[in-house]
Structure 1
Amino acid sequence: MRVIVEADGGSRGNPGPAGYGAVVLDPADSQVLAERSESIGTATNNVAEYGGLIAGLRAAAELGATHVEVRMDSKLVVEQMSGRWQIKNAGLRPLAAQAADLARRFTAVSYSWIPRERNTRADALANRAMDSAAGIVRPERASPQENDAEGDLPRPPLAGPDSAGRIAARKVAADAALLARGAAGAIRSWEPRGGTPLRLLLVRHGETTRTAERRYSGRGDVPLTERGLAQARAVAARLAGVPLAAVVTSPLERCVRTAEVIALAERAPIVVDEDLVECDFGEWEGLTFRDVRERYPTELETWLGSTAVAPPGGESLDAVAVRVDRAVERLRAHGSGVVVVVSHVSPLKLILREALAAGDAFLYRCHLDPAGMSTVDMWPDGAVSVRSVNDTSHV
């Protein structure tokens, strides 16, 4: 029996909260035969990677596999297990020996390196394990059927993320939300409001190498630089003594790490919201702003001219706005108190655009620095008050 094992592991902090994931696949149709995932407390990336390999090999053995093709995005583990690199770290030798012992149970085992974007299944399992190790809770998502049961609002057909139908759906949802909160006149007032608002502290993640180099950084999971980590600590110091109901974050590492630093100081729960992830910049990912101007002049001009246009292979700002609206509705469910929202430039600008009832030009005229903080109050009757934008006094 031939199988493919995809394995991954990681650590947030290296060492830090760590976990691994592994999947066993049928090579004929890529059907998942087994999954393994576990948090391993505080450990390094390499220890977690070996943990994923061992778990995957063990799962393959339990299935009765004879031939195993191991695929990992850890060059170190692949090269060491293939015998091409020495194992200089004494802490990894027992793990490599355990993996080798498991490998001897099979007729043949091969090891191949694959890029991270081709290891998404194991990567997702490893990230869940790291979430668990760090005490992060991901909210359960309602199914489309459950969402449909919440109301009888008209739903235009949704042909795709950039379709006219999806844009129209966003307008319908926004109008319905406005009606649900009360008449338009009820939220247009300079008078003091009754009740207690929900205060959102919108924080952009700390600096990464791509931030410093002025590169498009969308779904690429780049870590914070040392300066970025210091910026996160500065935000935490700024919020010292503020009782936080929650720290809600994008799932990408640069945001999760920023959120962990902020939450640790006040022992606040961390919630990951997938809808707060950055815009997918497609073919522009990792390129400098200058690179894109030179290589994609027409596409860039078109993209800057309309929020309905996506970068090649990417996601339009209108599509981002649809999911950001969903995230804001979940944030409103907190009712009152202070919630920190750690996200990226595009989602945060879209939240501010809606809060200010501004036009699309706002997205290109507003600047948000790494670790900059904006404050938005949301009242029970639907009123919104923007108190500050891109406050960087703490950094």
Structure 2
Amino acid sequence: MGRRLLVEADGGSRGNPGPAGYGAVVKDAGTGAVLAEAAEFIGTATNNVAEYRGLIAGLRAARELDPGASVHVRMDSKLVVEQMSGRWKIKHPGMRPLAAEASELFPADAVRYTWIPRAENAHADRLANEAMDAGRRGEQWRPSGVPDPAAAPSREDVGETAPAAPPPGWSADPGTPTTFVLLRHGETALTPQKRFSGSGGGDPELSAAGRRQAEAAAAALAARGTVQAVVSSPLRRCRETAEPVARRLGLEVRVDEGLRETDFGAWEGLTFAEVRERYPADLDAWLASETAAPTDGGESFAEVTRRVALARDKLLARYAGRTALLVTHVTPVKTLARLALGAPAESLFRMELSAASLSAVAYYADGNASLRLLNDTSHLR
């Protein structure tokens, strides 16, 4: 059973619409101890938008602490509390996507909402005003006691035990990442035989073993409860792997062409040994250079990288700050992992990726990425 968390959130606008900000605090429901704070200046917006943004920030902070928690939300916004409780209809079209985003962060039965007087929401109200004050000064809000990273401390300030500076280009406050959970499809009849199976072949279905793997992955992902969207390669084996996950999570499967596997040309359906025997020069060239393509119209790794990177950027824009499951293939998963690491193309041959394995990459607003998981198969054992 998860923790019991209390979320208090507020938002404000000086003008309605006008300069706006939100604040949110997460507390332990039993002790009242403060576990996390969040606040942000959001530019020109209405009070209602700012209040919803505060709710979303509070729920996100609670989810980062414990995605399995039961959450009690307390706000002085009657509108947000009644709409999120389902007692009032959401008539304004601008509120609907915000309410939908909030509702996707935890299962409906894990969150309850209570209206409180403004005086009882002083902590979140203070954070929202601090964020608006910071925005007026052209600054970002930061928790009290956290120094301005733009102010260079003296040696006397930091002493001899100061931590090393972050690598160049890394932000001191990268914000909530967008996370892609990467699920390789389950087995097909070709998988145990280690045959080339790309997007130019016969589009095989999952085998019985592959269907069992897809159900196991679905159960594991449903238990985690963090996935908010499911996107699949158009190929059948991926769609058949994605469907059990989406069904358990109550989501729809979106299809993205950019997530399809490499087209292996004349090598489709062959083993590595058979390709070595029939096309030795082409295989050597393919292994030596990312710009070399498989025989008879296949895709080079450079072409696949461009395609996958475009799909990545499009999905990052669509699911900013959220967690999306991408059901795809060996080469796209390895490509996303190597791009996150800044590794060379030859690293593709140095990664193991099992059928129905899980990997994960987090992407931050400052442009950096972090590989968090690679080839996890614990849910299959």
TM-score by length of 1: 0.51
| CA drift at 1:194 | 4.1
Q: Percent identity?
A: 46
1:208 is aligned, of 188, 206, 209, to 188
Whether the 8 Å CA contact 1:247–1:342 is kept in 2: the answer is yes
Query: What is the aligned partner in structure 2 of residue 230 from structure 1?
Result: 212
| CA drift at 1:337 | 1.7
Whether the 8 Å CA contact 1:309–1:316 is kept in 2: the answer is yes
| CA drift at 1:387 | 0.9
Query: What is the aligned partner in structure 2 of residue 301 from structure 1?
Result: 284
2:321 is aligned, of 336, 358, 371, to 336
In the alignment, is residue 386 of structure 1 matched against residue 368 of structure 2? no
1:365 is aligned, of 338, 350, 355, to 350
| CA drift at 1:291 | 0.7
CA RMSD of aligned residues (A): 1.6
1:239 is aligned, of 214, 221, 224, to 221
Query: What is the aligned partner in structure 2 of residue 320 from structure 1?
Result: 304
State the distance in 2 between where 1:373 and 1:258 align: 12
Whether the 8 Å CA contact 1:283–1:311 is kept in 2: the answer is yes
Whether the 8 Å CA contact 2:170–2:366 is kept in 1: the answer is no
State the distance in 2 between where 1:188 and 1:360 align: 24
SS in 2 for 1:368: coil
* Structure 1 letter corresponding to 2:362: D
State the distance in 2 between where 1:186 and 1:229 align: 45
Whether the 8 Å CA contact 1:245–1:269 is kept in 2: the answer is no
SS in 2 for 1:228: helix
State the distance in 1 between where 2:374 and 2:182 align: 9
Kindly report which structure 2 residues correspond to 1:1-395, keeping only aligned pairs within 5 A, or say none. Answer: 187-188=169-170, 193-219=173-199, 220=201, 221-241=203-223, 242-313=225-296, 314-333=298-317, 334-395=319-380
Give the aligned length: 210
* Structure 1 letter corresponding to 2:235: L
Please list the CA deviations of residues 85-143 of structure 1 after superposition, one character each: whole Å capped at 9, or x if unmatched. Answer: xxxxxxxxxxxxxxxxxxxxxxxxxxxxxxxxxxxxxxxxxxxxxxxxxxxxxxxxxxx
Please list the CA deviations of residues 54-110 of structure 1 after superposition, one character each: whole Å capped at 9, or x if unmatched. Answer: xxxxxxxxxxxxxxxxxxxxxxxxxxxxxxxxxxxxxxxxxxxxxxxxxxxxxxxxx
SS in 2 for 1:210: coil
State the distance in 1 between where 2:292 and 2:175 align: 40
State the distance in 2 between where 1:285 and 1:227 align: 22
* Structure 1 letter corresponding to 2:267: W
Whether the 8 Å CA contact 2:279–2:295 is kept in 1: the answer is no
SS in 1 for 2:361: strand
SS in 1 for 2:370: strand
Please list the CA deviations of residues 172-201 of structure 1 after superposition, one character each: whole Å capped at 9, or x if unmatched. Answer: xxxxxxxxxxxx966436x6x442111110
Unaligned runs of 5+ in 1: 1-183
| CA drift at 1:245 | 2.0
Please list the CA deviations of residues 344-375 of structure 1 after superposition, one character each: whole Å capped at 9, or x if unmatched. Answer: 11111111110010011210001110011111
| CA drift at 1:338 | 1.1
State the distance in 1 between where 2:340 and 2:330 align: 15
Query: What is the aligned partner in structure 1 of residue 130 from structure 2?
Result: none
SS in 2 for 1:308: coil
| CA drift at 1:234 | 1.0
State the distance in 2 between where 1:369 and 1:343 align: 12
State the distance in 1 between where 2:168 and 2:258 align: 29
| CA drift at 1:331 | 1.5
| CA drift at 1:394 | 0.6
State the distance in 1 between where 2:273 and 2:332 align: 23
State the distance in 2 between where 1:200 and 1:186 align: 24
| CA drift at 1:293 | 1.2
